[in-house]
Amino acid sequence: MADDYYTSANLITFNESDLSFDVSDVLNDAPVLSALSAFSVDGTQLKYVKKSADPVVGFRALNAGVDNDVATYTQVSVDLAIADASFNIDIAAAEGYRLGPAAFIALQMQNHMQAMMAKIENELINGGASDGFASLSEELDGASDAMVVDAGGTEADKASSAYLIRSGFNDVQVCWGNQGVIEAKDTTIVRSAAASGTFPSYYTAVTGYVGLTYGSAYSAGRIVNLTNDSGKGLTDDLIADALSKFPAGRGPNMIAVNRRSLKQLQNSRTATNSTGAPAPFPESAFGVPLIITDQISSTEAIVS
């Protein structure tokens, strides 16, 4: 039976009780973020310990001693990133909306929140934002790393990755600051600058705090250098190689891939299908669910 854990949909709340959409609505474009285990902290900083080495244990003879050796943990302190979905809209656009300005502002709020969640998912996978947080790709950034499998593709800037993630307590988790509350401030009328002159606009400030924890060296794995080179796409053999790097009983509970990798995996299964019929799009590999996301690109640099 799969482990149950809280997700972002269970934890995130909006300070505005009259918003016309549910948290799950804004997570639709962020399937990995939606599936990951999540927790909240009171403030805007996260402190946790990450295990870097197991203790040494063994056997001893009667009345004989043993050396004492404990597990090694590293304390990690993370300033959570500020996720900003604030927006500013021309009063004329809002008041020209057929359902009125309040409905237009609510629509913009939902659109911006959806875009923010997708941006957060992009950051937790790829990183790169100067004010963002540590990502999976930055943790697994070498083709010879212990938890990395190299598919061997060589097409420059046309590579992709697949991420095998163990999410849950003491593994990969999303952390939301301020007890998971995303603040949507009251909309105000402000004067905005244009290329020439100014115009009146509705401004709404929307902010939250978020980060990612990486529980141990075995919390995630990555298949790198997946390309369109012949024989260098995603296959079950590559996934099996990656799965074999996880400790027994502590394997991943999701595999994140993009649509190209999904198609490559489907093609590899079609080639070995005894019925001759095309294989369906895969939903899992070796019992581990596949999650399809557009936040994994097909234009990555080759990982060396």
Q: What is the mean pLDDT of residues 223-246?
A: 98
- pLDDT above 70 coverage of the chain, percent: 97
Name the token pair of 273: 């299908």
Domain assignment of residue 288, yes or no: yes
| Total structural domains within the chain | 1
Average pLDDT in the chain = 92
Domain assignment of residue 69, yes or no: no
Cβ contact 187:88 at 8 Å:
no
What domain range includes position 27?
Answer: 8-50+77-292
CA distances from 39 to 9, 170, 174 (A): 11, 11, 6
Domain assignment of residue 62, yes or no: no
Q: Which of 1-10, 50-59, 193-202 has the lowest mean pLDDT?
A: 1-10
pLDDT reading at 236 higher than 80: yes
Sorting pLDDT into bands at 50, 70 and 90, what band is 3? low
172-198 CB burial, b ≥16 within 10 A, e <16: bbbbbbbebbbebeebeeeeeeeeeee
C-alpha 254/C-alpha 296 separation (Å) is 15
Give the pLDDT confidence score for residue 287 in this predicted structure.
Answer: 97
pLDDT per residue over 157-172, tens digit each? 999 999 999 999 989 9
Give the pLDDT confidence score for residue 200 in this predicted structure.
Answer: 97
C-alpha 203/C-alpha 243 separation (Å) is 48
C-alpha 293/C-alpha 173 separation (Å) is 18
Could you tell me which residue, 48 or 283, shows the higher pLDDT? 283
pLDDT per residue over 246-293, tens digit each? 999 999 999 999 999 999 999 999 877 777 788 899 999 999 999 999
pLDDT per residue over 190-204, tens digit each? 999 999 999 999 999
Task: Classify burial at 298, counting beta carbons within 10 Å of its beta carbon; exposed 0-12, middle 13-18, buried 19 or more.
Answer: middle
Domain assignment of residue 231, yes or no: yes
pLDDT reading at 50 higher than 80: no
Domain assignment of residue 297, yes or no: no
pTM equals: 0.89
Sequence-ordered list of residues with C-beta below 8 angstroms from that of 235, at least 6 positions apart, any chain: 264, 265, 268
C-alpha 145/C-alpha 141 separation (Å) is 7
Sorting pLDDT into bands at 50, 70 and 90, what band is 17? low
Domain assignment of residue 272, yes or no: yes
Give the pLDDT confidence score for residue 1 in this predicted structure.
Answer: 38
pLDDT reading at 4 higher than 80: no
Give the pLDDT confidence score for residue 198 in this predicted structure.
Answer: 97
Task: Classify burial at 159, counting beta carbons within 10 Å of its beta carbon; exposed 0-12, middle 13-18, buried 19 or more.
Answer: buried
Give the pLDDT confidence score for residue 109 in this predicted structure.
Answer: 92
Domain assignment of residue 59, yes or no: no
CA distances from 119 to 26, 125, 221 (A): 12, 10, 22
Cβ contact 69:56 at 8 Å:
yes
C-alpha 101/C-alpha 92 separation (Å) is 9
Give the pLDDT confidence score for residue 271 in this predicted structure.
Answer: 73
pLDDT reading at 10 higher than 70: yes
Domain assignment of residue 300, yes or no: no
Name residue 256's beta-bridge partners: 163, 291
Give the pLDDT confidence score for residue 2 in this predicted structure.
Answer: 52
pLDDT per residue over 84-127, tens digit each? 999 999 999 999 999 999 999 999 999 999 999 999 999 999 99
